[in-house]
Homo-oligomer: A and B are copies of this chain.
Amino acid sequence: MIHEVDYVSGHTRLYAIIGHPIAQVRSPELFTASFKARGADALLVPFHVLPDEFDRTVPALMAMPNLDGLIFTIPYKQRAMAYANEIGSNAQIVGAINALARNGAGGLKADIFDGLGCVEAFRRRGLSFAGKRIMLIGAGGAGSAIGIAIAHENPHSIQLYDLDVDRALTLVRKIQSVDPSIQVERAEPTVKDIDILLNASPVGMLEDERLPIAVNAFDPALVVFDAIVKPETTPLLKKAHEAGCTLVRGREMMMGQISKMTDYFGIVPL
């Protein structure tokens, strides 16, 4: 005799992450846990959608009355924009979305939450970007989203570095478009006259022992953030910890993003 499971039924509301490939994603277990923690009978499942099938699959899925939202990962963050009636300002500037949800008026809204997760992680720690001098390393997908989200938080200045000069300059212009009053410029990595150091480059990921910045010692007043999730303590965070800095970890950004996206999906705590 089998025993029925208690986490899926005909009443369960569905969400999905769409990618190609899909097996590597962590959203199903993390978002489903976030939904359960809020008392919702909802699941987020993985949908492997092939590139040739994307354009008939997304509208078919969003036509299901019991499916309320989609997350997009590689390679669909740009392409998915076509299906939204409303696109949030962050996503418009980044040029990509990672969440699509019902807007309550029969249409679909979309936004990108990668950068908002970083802002949320700082907020939960009682840390503000307002008036702060920021050094951002990395202007790729994560760095762009973080830079643009922070530009909404009234920082004093943002210096940003990327190995790819054009990419760095593109992000400089995007940040200026958010708030022309921010002093923003491309720069070499530095912690001189910096309050918050943000790493959004892949340097230090997994077995990579390198630091994204050459520095002898950090000032303990510095706040150091690393977007990398694995390892939990990157070489950069280890060095910052030894100097007595305040650390904000990639996992905190991830949890902040999940929380903001769960809000966006309309799942509010009971």
Binding site for B on A (CB under 8 A): 1-12, 14, 17, 22-30, 32-34, 36-37, 43-50, 53, 56-57, 59-61, 63-67, 255, 258
Q: Which 8 A-B pairs have the closest CB atoms?
A: A10-B25, A48-B66, A57-B60, A8-B28, A4-B29, A2-B33, A53-B63, A60-B60
**Would you give the shortest CB distance from A162 to chain B, in whole angstroms?**
29
Interface centre among A2, A11, A47, A60 (most CB of B within 10 A): A2
**What is the CA–CA distance of A256 and B29 in the complex, to the nearest angstrom?**
31
Q: When the two chains form the complex, which single residue of B23, B53, B57 contacts A10, counting CB atoms closer than 8 Å?
A: B23
Cα(A34)–Cα(B34), bound, Å: 26
B14 contacts A29, CB within 8 Å? Answer: no
Pick 27 A–B contacts, CB within 8 A, sort by A. Answer: A1-B255, A2-B34, A2-B255, A2-B258, A3-B33, A5-B33, A5-B36, A7-B7, A8-B29, A8-B32, A8-B44, A9-B29, A10-B17, A10-B22, A10-B25, A10-B27, A12-B46, A14-B47, A43-B43, A46-B66, A47-B66, A48-B66, A49-B63, A50-B65, A56-B56, A56-B60, A57-B64
Copies of this chain = 2
B residues near A255, Cβ cutoff 8 Å? 1-2
Determine the distance from Cα of A166 to Cα of B48 in the docked complex, in whole angstroms.
47
| Known contacts A10-B17, A10-B28, A22-B66; 13 further A-B pairs (Cβ under 8 A) | A2-B34, A2-B37, A5-B7, A8-B32, A8-B43, A8-B45, A9-B26, A10-B25, A12-B46, A47-B67, A49-B63, A56-B59, A57-B60
Return the contact of A9 from the options B11, B46, B60 (Cβ within 8 A): B46
**A57 vs B8: C-alpha distance when bound (angstroms):** 21
Report how far A77 CA is from B3 CA in the complex, Å.
27
